[in-house]
């Protein structure tokens, strides 16, 4: 891998010093580094490859950290890391104690804000900009947001706020026609219309030159036209939504033409009005496999660079959900599937192609997805909103207000529940069981195997109210032994005085630990909320209860069960093993071991040794 130029980049100042003729080589070295590193560590490849020239142009035009540059979501910030002094440790990307796959302020002064979830960059960057202005500090703030993230309502709340006053605040719209899946909806169509128009700035420059040459009335006419940007733009094409929100709109510009972007950035940062620069890029650029199938190379595990294959084709919980929903939809014409821009990631590709009229990709809009599902339920349909656990957090109010209070039969399929590993703090699915169980009337199921997942999904067809089925990332592993019994809980080796309780992915390790300890029993919860009073009374008869939970401790299922036992005046010795803080990047196995949740830890706990 060539890295002569990259090795010389210790800060963005070094990027500015490079002559223009070396920038193409720099971008080539960056792409080689991205492909090599992600092929070994996994990560977000296609989005990073598409933003290489854009990031170079940003760091040549602005002065980080004086000018705060904030990448929405952060999975397109890999090049930013390479240009801000992190090349030497880039090989640790997404590794335990290594570089985060997203922006992290504790990692570098050039990362102004934690990013991981979509559509928050404009809000955060505008807040940073206003703080600079109020404190009299130099510099501006630049929010770099993808067109996929522009389907999130929070982005428009921020645009509405930021466009209301004169400022030098800047938004860069990185338009690659994709989020994770291909973008859908009215905004995608709208941006396509903008891309297809004659370039406004090219026409403006030509008109300026032409009028300057016209004798007598040329210059007065030019001054008259250019005194009103609105007049000129309306003469070329109707003003767009961004202009209507108070932004100077520049573009669209080729997001792989560094000089063209530098020119627009220079114009934008010298105006006393918020600006939006529309940059058009190719997701996956420079790696043929990623260019042709950008959705498959959005977030990838380790893969072979030459063939593009990862070798990971095992069935996982996501694919089982997709297959099962297709089976349900075949026999029940009211079954619908909803996703928030995650068709392939949540296993819904087959459903989307087979049942097009009952499949809804609403864009990155989890709040809308929940309420839309409630509306479908009100109309007599059976909606299944399939969503990552960490992304459902944004729909918490809607679950309460629009689904639960109304008693609508909304079904939540919660993917990536529990520890997800290398994506770190922003993506761990630790909170769904705790916050959903606080809502009256919500039922939560947690399968330990594919067989149980299928059975639970079919049972939700007749469920009332809000029902959630939560399942982890990846395959079932050693849990394949668990079969769907239809029961709310299953007992293993009952009758001893020490009881281990757990649910979901931890069940296999817990069962093996109990098998090796002749004095213990296992209670595997299938329906983790609500837990029947009769079951609580039975648990209360044990002398010692150990609860292992792959989720947040405070407010979690284990803590709620402990409270219920106290209400029964139980004298059992209760120990709760769960997670009590944000979990950083590390492999899932290492995380479970660290928090005392793996098989070895359960065995130690049974022996009286603190895991």
Q: Which of 168, 177, 382, 394 is catalytic?
A: 394
Euclidean distance between CA atoms 560 and 400, whole angstroms? 19
* Helix or strand holding residue 459 (H, E): helix 450-459
6: phi then psi, degrees, rounded to nearest 5: -60, -40
Three-class SS state of 70: strand
Helices (H), 163-302: 186-195, 200-213, 218-226, 229-236, 241-244, 258-269, 288-292
Sheet arrangement for strand 68-71: 68-71, 141-146, 170-175, 275-280, 248-254
Residues in the chain: 611
Q: Write out the E strands in 50-115.
A: 68-71
The CB density around residue 521, as the number of other CB atoms within 10 Å, is: 18
Task: State yes or no: is 394 an active-site residue.
Answer: yes
CA distances from 246 to 26, 49, 415 (A): 36, 31, 39
If you search the block for the tokens 């296999």, which residue do you land on? 508
Residue 411 designated active-site: no
Active-site option among 60, 86, 358, 366: 366
What CA–CA distances, in Å, run from 461 to 51, 310, 446?
Answer: 44, 36, 16
DSSP track, 291-311? HH-TTTTSSB-S--TTT---S
The C-alpha atoms of residue 26 and residue 18 are separated, in whole angstroms, by 9
Sheet holding 544-552, edge to edge: 489-492, 520-525, 498-503, 544-552, 573-579
**8 A C-beta contact, residue 141 and residue 449:** no
Residue environment code for 50-71, b if the CB has 16+ CB neighbours within 10 A, otherwise e: bbbbbbbbbbbbbebbebbbbb
Which of the following is catalytic: 283, 382, 454, 564?
Answer: 283
**Tokens read off for 331:** 């026999």
Tokens of 99: 């570089």
DSSP collapsed to 3 states, 537-581: HHHCCCCEEEEEEEEECCCCHHHHHHHHHHHCCCCCEEEEEEECC
> Edge to edge, what strands does the sheet with 411-415 contain?
359-361, 335-339, 382-388, 411-415, 467-470, 443-445, 527-529
446, 470 contact by CB (below 8 A)? yes
Q: At what angle do helices 218-226 and 229-236 cross, to 10 degrees?
A: 100
- Distance, in Å, from the CA atom of 121 to the CA atom of 607, rounded to the nearest integer, reads 49
233 as an active site residue: the answer is no
Structural element, H or E, at residue 253 = strand 248-254
CA distances in angstroms from 495 to 50, 222, 499, 523, listed in the order given: 60, 92, 9, 11
CA 170 to chain centre: 23
Q: Compute the distance between CA of residue 529 and CA of residue 441 in angstroms, rounded to an integer.
A: 10
Catalytic machinery residues: 283, 366, 394
């Amino acid at each position: 891998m060539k890295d002569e130029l990259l090795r010389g980049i210790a800060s963005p100042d070094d990027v500015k010093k490079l002559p223009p003729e070396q920038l193409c080589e720099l971008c080539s070295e960056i792409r080689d580094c991205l492909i090599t590193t992600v092929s070994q560590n996994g990560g977000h490849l296609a989005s990073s490859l598409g933003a290489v020239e854009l990031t170079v142009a940003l760091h040549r035009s602005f002065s980080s950290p004086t000018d705060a540059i904030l990448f929405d979501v952060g999975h397109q910030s890999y090049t930013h890391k390479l240009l801000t002094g992190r090349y030497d440790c880039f090989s640790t990307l997404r590794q335990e104690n290594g570089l985060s796959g997203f922006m992290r302020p504790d990692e570098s002064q050039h990362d102004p804000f934690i990013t991981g979830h979509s559509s928050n960059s404009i809000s955060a960057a505008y807040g940073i900009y206003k703080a600079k202005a109020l404190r009299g500090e130099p510099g501006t703030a630049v929010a770099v947001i993808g067109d996929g993230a522009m389907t999130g309502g929070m982005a428009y709340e921020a645009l509405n706020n930021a466009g209301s006053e004169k400022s030098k605040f800047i938004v860069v719209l990185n338009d690659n026609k994709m989020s994770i899946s291909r973008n859908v909806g009215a905004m995608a169509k709208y941006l396509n219309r903008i891309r297809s128009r004659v370039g406004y700035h090219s026409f403006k420059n030509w008109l300026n030159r032409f009028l300057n040459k016209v004798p007598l009335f040329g210059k007065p006419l030019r001054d008259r036209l250019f005194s009103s940007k609105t007049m000129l733009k309306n003469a070329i094409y109707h003003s767009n939504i961004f202009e209507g929100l108070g932004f100077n709109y520049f573009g669209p510009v080729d997001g792989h033409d560094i000089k063209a972007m530098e020119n627009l950035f220079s114009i934008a940062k010298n105006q006393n009005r918020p600006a939006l620069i529309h940059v058009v890029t190719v997701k996956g650029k420079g790696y043929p496999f990623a260019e042709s199938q950008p959705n498959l190379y959005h977030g990838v595990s380790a893969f072979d660079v030459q063939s593009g294959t990862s070798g990971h084709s095992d069935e996982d919980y996501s694919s089982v959900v997709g297959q099962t929903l297709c089976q349900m939809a075949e026999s029940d014409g009211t079954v619908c599937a909803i996703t928030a821009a995650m068709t392939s990631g949540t296993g819904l590709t087959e459903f989307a192609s087979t049942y097009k009229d009952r499949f809804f990709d609403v864009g990155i809009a989890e709040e809308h997805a929940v309420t839309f599902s409630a509306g479908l339920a009100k109309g007599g349909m059976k909606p299944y909103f399939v969503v990552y656990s960490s992304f459902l957090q944004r729909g918490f109010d809607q679950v309460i207000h629009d689904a639960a209070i109304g008693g609508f039969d909304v079904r939540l399929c919660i993917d990536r529940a529990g520890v997800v590993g290398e994506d770190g703090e922003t993506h761990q699915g630790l909170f769904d069981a705790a916050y959903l169980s606080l809502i009256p009337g919500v039922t939560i199921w947690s399968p330990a195997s594919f067989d149980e997942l299928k059975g639970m999904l079919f049972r939700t067809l007749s469920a009332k109210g809000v029902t959630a089925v939560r399942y982890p990332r990846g395959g079932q592993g050693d849990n394949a032994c668990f079969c769907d019994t239809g029961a709310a809980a299953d007992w293993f080796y009952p009758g001893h005085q020490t009881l281990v309780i757990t649910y979901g992915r931890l069940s296999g390790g817990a069962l093996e630990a109990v098998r090796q300890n002749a004095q213990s029993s296992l209670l595997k919860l299938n329906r983790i909320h609500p837990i029947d009073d009769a079951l609580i009374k039975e648990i209360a008869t044990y002398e010692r209860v150990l609860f292992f939970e792959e989720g947040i401790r405070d407010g979690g299922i284990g803590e709620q069960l402990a409270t219920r036992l106290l209400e029964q005046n139980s004298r059992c010795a209760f120990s709760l093993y769960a997670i009590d803080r944000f979990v950083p990047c590390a492999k899932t196995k290492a995380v479970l071991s660290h928090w005392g949740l793996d098989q070895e830890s359960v065995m130690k706990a049974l022996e009286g040794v603190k895991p």
